Amino acid sequence: MHIHILGIGGTLMGSIAQLARAQGHKITGSDNVLYEPMQSQLKRAGIDIQLPYQDNSIPSAADLIVLGNAGLGRGNPAVEALLASGKPFQSGAQFLGQHILADKWVIAAAGTHGKTTTASMIAWLLECAGLNPSYLIGGVPMNFETSARLTDSPFFVIEADEYDTSYFDRQSKFLHYRPMTLVINNLEYDHADIFPDLESIENQFHQLIRRVPALGLIIRHGLDQNIDRLMNRGCWSEQLRFGVVTPSDRGDLDIAIEPASGNVEIDGLQVGTLSWSLAGAHNSANALAAIAAARHVGVPPALSLDFLEGFRGVKRRLEVINTSNRYVLYDDFAHHPTAIESTLEAVRAKVGAAPIYAIIEPSSHTMKLGTHQPRLIAACESADQVFWLESQPLAFDLASLVKPSGHHVAQNPSTLAAALNTALQSEPSTAHIVIMSNGNIDQLKVVLSEALPHA
């Protein structure tokens, strides 16, 4: 079958392209622009791509058109050409569920935060155990060469996103996946551009829970009140509760970790110690979820703990991108106050009293709308200095909000780099600079590498 994919440059759609190609289909695609890492992955897969969208973007020989979400609505020339052609079409998530996941044991990592890292961990644990899993991850796991692959294994690990599917399919993507093993890391309000409130997000998660079979397993954070409320709406599968605890307060969790020691307990019995390179309580929680998911398909927890020592993380998750005698520069995908707070707390725990400089670009829809204004200052408490990059118009006055707390606001990377460089001149010790954004920060990285001291 000849499948043409609109939005092929996105992580999900580009990954679907590679999976469908592995099934033996002829794949072509269109997009407006193409960025790394998907550009190189699609090139290696030998997939022809047409840029930008035009009214002739739909090949006459294509049997099926698969659409992504970003920028693909009415008025897009490729969408208008598709509708005029009369060719059959599906959303990417629908195609994935029907044609790729249908005969697999799906292990899905869902939640507001940590999906990419948790899915990457699960795939790595199954890989180390010799289970050769298929996977699709919305990022670049450093332990694998690509963000997606298809194997003959019965197991498929997927990052399960709650964002809607396409302009004609408004349900959450994960409702197409039908997992046997479901992880719910956490649940908070996000995606203010499509969800009016937390309840509307919970409705989608409730529909997801209704799709897990009775013999499946829901692995859920046991210390999240929003998840408690969600599960009280109804659950028809076994639950396993995980969480990060203090030595004196394990509570009624099924699997728990004490972060200071790394000791992991399951059903009250210690099964081993987590010893690895990742920092932060949020990553410890992600590890518990991954261990539990791997256990559900037969990987002993003690083995998983050993395997996690070799887990290298995910690009743009506290990834070190540059170092000198004066600073260490990190790239992180945090774009929600909870994620910003967790990232900075993880860095603080790692570097002690060393100076931490936070660079935050509010580029997500929710951040640009100002939905989380009341939490922005508190989320940055672990940083010594905070620099905001306001490179796009915001729906609120960022400067008025953050400057009274001593934060800096810049409208372009060059201005920010100059202010950061001035601040670094007075630092007697190595500073840790953390860029946090879910946007494309390539220009910012180039400007910082040129402006900051190299010795």
What are the extents of the domains in the chain? 2-91, 101-308, 319-451
Helix (H) or strand (E) holding 360: strand 356-360
If you search the block for the tokens 């659950």, which residue do you land on?
235
CA distance 287 to 362: 28
- Long-range contacts from 312-315, C-beta under 8 angstroms, 24+ separation: 312/142, 312/143, 312/277, 313/117, 313/120, 313/141, 313/142, 313/277, 313/278, 314/116, 314/117, 314/120, 314/137, 314/139, 314/140, 314/141, 314/142, 315/37, 315/139, 315/140, 315/141, 315/142
Same CATH fold assignment for domains 2-91 and 319-451: no
Q: Where are the beta strands (DSSP E) in 142-197?
A: 148-149, 155-159, 164-166, 169-172, 181-184
Instruction: Give yes or no for residue 439 having a pLDDT over 80.
Output: no
Query: How many other CB atoms are there within 10 angstroms of residue 330's CB atom?
Result: 23
Q: How confident is the model at residue 247 (pLDDT cuts 50, 70, 90)?
A: low
For every residue of 7-49, DSSP letters joined together read TTTSHHHHHHHHHHHHTT-EEEEE-S---TTHHHHHHHTT-EE
Helices (H) and strands (E) in the chain, counts: 15, 23
Give the mean model confidence (pLDDT) for residues 354-373: 88
- Kindly state the percentage of the chain with pLDDT values over 70: 98
Instruction: Give yes or no for residue 96 having a pLDDT over 90.
Output: yes
The answer to whether the beta carbons of residues 417 and 447 sit under 8 Å apart is: yes
The answer to whether the beta carbons of residues 378 and 353 sit under 8 Å apart is: no
What's the pLDDT tens digit per position in 370-405?
A: 888 888 999 999 999 999 999 888 989 999 999 999
Q: Which CATH number fits domain 101-308: 3.40.1190.10, 1.10.10.10, 3.30.70.2860, 3.40.140.10?
A: 3.40.1190.10
Q: Report which of 120, 117, 68 is spatially closest to residue 89, judged by C-alpha positions.
A: 68
Helix (H) or strand (E) holding 376: helix 373-379
Q: Report which of 136, 94, 143, 98 is spatially closest to residue 115, judged by C-alpha positions.
A: 136
Give the mean model confidence (pLDDT) for residues 327-346: 88
Give the mean model confidence (pLDDT) for residues 422-446: 83
Residues 6+ apart with CB under 8 A from 260: 247
Quote the pLDDT of residue 142.
Answer: 85
Phi/psi of residue 204, nearest 5 degrees: -70, -40
CA distance 16 to 154: 18
β-pair type (169-172, 164-166): antiparallel
What's the pLDDT tens digit per position in 130-140?
A: 999 999 998 88
Instruction: Give yes or no for residue 455 having a pLDDT over 60.
Output: no
- Burial of residue 300 (CB within 10 Å: 0-12, 13-18, 19+) is middle
For the domain 2-91, what is the CATH superfamily, name and number? NAD(P)-binding Rossmann-like Domain (3.40.50.720)
Beta-bridge mates of residue 256:
243, 265
- Kindly state the percentage of the chain with pLDDT values over 90: 66
Q: Which CATH class is domain 319-451?
A: alpha beta
